[in-house]
């Protein structure tokens, strides 16, 4: 059974589960894969607040509790649909605590899956842009993973990151975490400015590196820049590693 750490944020959990269904070869309800999602958002502190030093509570501990609950309920493989949770300061603590608890759940790494997917499917691409929260931006989560594979990485200026991209996700009025049904036009506009910046700087691919961003940018290509949704890649990896015959071809 596939396990999903929901609540980081709440809609990212259901988005991952829907993407698992979307990418599964199934014509009836009964042909779908079994999955369990636990959304305990109240217990998991904000990942960006931890990474930028505004709180000392590492959200890793609460995430591990959810993973162990998923495992107890029957999950054998799991994913966390939150980019920021994959920064080393959080993810390495998750891994070491799972080990201490003698967990055997197979926890996939969304960022590494995304970089591997790009290398497999777009072998000629060299310049990759990333839009993300400020937590992911400052921890250089995608930047390090991409640079270690030889990619040139393009990100917004710090000014654009703090005044435009991060607020598109977190702003109390128009941010996607507050208002996603429908998306506020200001959130979309801020992110589209980010996309235009990445294109100007020569990006061939843009990684939508926060699970909220693909709710506002649903196109697979914007002005010639291919958009990559890591949640979709994680969904495909979870299916492939559970039951490869069930993975829909691209």
**Interface residues toward its own copies, by CB under 8 A:** 1, 6-11, 13-14, 17-18, 21-22, 27-46, 69, 72-74, 172, 177-178, 181
- In the complex, the smallest distance separating the C-beta of residue 151 from its own copies, rounded to whole angstroms, is 30
Distance CA 236, CA 250 (A): 10
CB-count exposure of residue 23 (10 Å: 0-12, 13-18, 19+) = buried
CB of 21 or CB of 240, closer to its own copies: 21
- In the complex, the smallest distance separating the C-beta of residue 41 from its own copies, rounded to whole angstroms, is 4
Asked whether 47 and 58 are in contact (CB, 8 A), the reply is no
CB of 18 or CB of 221, closer to its own copies: 18
- In the complex, the smallest distance separating the C-beta of residue 113 from its own copies, rounded to whole angstroms, is 21
- In the complex, the smallest distance separating the C-beta of residue 201 from its own copies, rounded to whole angstroms, is 31
Across 26-57, b (16+ Cβ under 10 Å) vs e yields eeeeeeebebbbbbbeeebbbbbebbeeeeee
CB of 61 or CB of 69, closer to its own copies: 69
CB of 75 or CB of 118, closer to its own copies: 75
Query: 């829907």: which residue's tokens?
Result: 18
- In the complex, the smallest distance separating the C-beta of residue 219 from its own copies, rounded to whole angstroms, is 14
* Residue 225 CA: distances (Å) to CA of 114, 128, 195, 238, 242: 16, 10, 8, 26, 31
CB of 36 or CB of 105, closer to its own copies: 36
């Amino acid at each position: 059974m596939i396990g999903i750490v929901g609540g980081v944020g709440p809609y990212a959990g259901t988005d991952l589960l829907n993407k698992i269904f979307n990418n599964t070869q199934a014509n009836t309800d009964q042909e779908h894969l079994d999955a369990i999602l636990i959304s305990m958002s109240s217990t998991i502190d904000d990942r960006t607040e931890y990474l930028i030093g505004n709180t000392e509570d590492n959200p890793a501990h609460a995430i591990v509790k959810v993973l162990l609950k998923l495992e107890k309920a029957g999950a054998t493989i799991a994913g966390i649909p939150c980019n920021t949770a994959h920064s080393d300061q959080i993810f390495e603590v998750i891994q070491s605590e799972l080990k201490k608890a003698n967990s055997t759940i197979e926890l996939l790494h969304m960022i590494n899956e995304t970089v591997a997917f790009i290398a497999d499917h777009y072998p000629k691409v060299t310049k990759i842009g990333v839009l993300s929260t400020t937590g992911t931006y400052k921890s250089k989560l995608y930047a390090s993973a991409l640079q270690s594979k030889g990619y040139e990485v393009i990100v917004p200026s710090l000014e654009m990151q703090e005044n435009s991209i991060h607020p598109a996700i977190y702003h109390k009025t128009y941010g996607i975490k507050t208002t996603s049904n429908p998306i506020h036009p200001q959130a979309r506009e801020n992110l589209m400015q980010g996309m235009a910046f990445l294109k100007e700087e020569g990006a061939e691919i843009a990684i939508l590196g926060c699970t909220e961003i693909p709710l506002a940018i649903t196109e697979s290509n914007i002005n010639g820049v291919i958009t990559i949704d890591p949640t979709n890649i994680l969904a495909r990896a979870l299916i492939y590693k559970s039951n490869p015959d069930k993975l829909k071809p691209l």
